[in-house]
Chains A and B, each alone.
Chain A
């Protein structure tokens, strides 16, 4: 079953074309890892899926809803799609628990007690229930990113987008975030992850997408694309990334 369908999507920033005629189908429960050099359009690709960016051409259908500017549709999409950012984007003036409860209370209409109970559940799941009453700045980067993941999960999305979730982290904290993501992947969540963590991609991804200059250059199961890359550009890219 297809949950995300992109047809000939193009996106421009002024004269710069960030996405060139991109088509992609993602199946329900699929784990997709997107990689590529910086400026290749991989972040733009996933930001179009929850309409943080509006595409100019083509069609994006998420869980049966075609993405347009209509407010009702937008609400529906954003209720279905969660997102985890490179810079965490936690709300600095709220405690961890308040960060988690805000959406469930204001958007889903949960009572205080229910929202709190749900938030604590997900904090357990990302293994930091003891940090519930702290403010984001009191946590390490890895902990902050796990809170951000829990915040997305509290909305119970069907799809979770990750925009370079470990790129802003110190090396020793990357593992704890990847562990949480691996656990999530095994629970059947549909995930699209933009990352350079090739080890994670190999372990978790159903399919790899390699983008360059706004196009999908290569797509396939990790074992296939890693062992026998079809394009020169991707071959060069994995060589650089694995050597560094």
Chain B
């Protein structure tokens, strides 16, 4: 058995130290809660915001006027198909306060001297993404958390969350700071799940041989969505898989930071929005028509290029600066070394494999799930999108409310379920000569991609999903039987694969239940879009050994 290194207790345990997790920890500590934050890596450089961001969705009253201006624009934006309106309103109402706080802490939210909004915008319409310099954001937020007495455990991924009839009771974590694994048991009155988006569930589209070439950091495997699922939390919108786009073979987010026009090889613009580079809007084509790059390829009219050559020297310099703020320095270094100049060279763009972002734990207006004391924030919220802005704001909201549980009595006795889970992980670690986590992850990806992939060029159907669900069950048995880990790092990855398996299953069952085609969810057996399902969210959860689904109205 892997030894238990220490047993700790706190009011609020935060899982994941990305933008949402750090903001939750800061807010909970501000309320006087004793907070422990656990991160897979080191909070100074972990998560989707590790090396920076340059646009933050928010409402600044003196710039936008009425909040409805931002709300309307937001609901017309990419990936806004899963938003409960009351949550969006709370996010936007709270956003000015958070943006000002960040600015005071030393994240430059006014790099041009004033609030300035650009990118991800339609010509002639209001702009809602604040341009900011987030290159130091993780270091600043880590320092703010420490200042408030938050105990941060680095290289300490959470493996499971536990509960009793009263609500959450604590978490089991793995000390992966050295080769030898050890457990940590942390008792908590409230838990904020904030492990972000889910990558590595589908075969990497640009480069199938390179599992870690994903548009968002491949450390994100939705761990605490799966952990919440295992204790009965409602997941929602799991079938609405998302596919991002960017430079074809070097998978990366940040497409709106490029100041150029998407063009056909014959130079014609692909989209209707701009014909020359526009620094204020960027080219919205790929936000609105996210399948554009795949469509062009299939139609034989591609490839599609991002052409910045018409931009002024000043705008190109601005783009270079913004890419640094966004954290794209590896891309810049590479282009410099290879002599690629966006002013002279057009870069091919493509669409990446499906991932889960804004699919996950269903939360209420305070960030709480249906399990008492279990909160969720960030890209893993299932019913509100909004990228880094929503992660920061809802992290802060969830942290405040999680801290209210500090008056609760700490649970006593053994953490129910912990023993079994520790035995499972110990078994994986002790196993010699079995399947590696990579093998298991690839096997999972091929089933997901074959049976549950999404549009524009892949379809789902009841028979294919039935088969996929069956095969996933078979694979799970083999993985539990054969997968082995030789050190703490591999054990962390093996646990990620187990989490991905749970999420794959929830995704497939949800996709089978949505008997219509909508967005990227294309059903070959239900090729139409059903208006009756437009504002319906599909909830899925585990009730003991049973998996249940239920439709609910989107909250207006």
Q: Decide if A and B are genuine partners.
A: no
Q: Which residues of A contact B (CB under 8 A)?
A: none
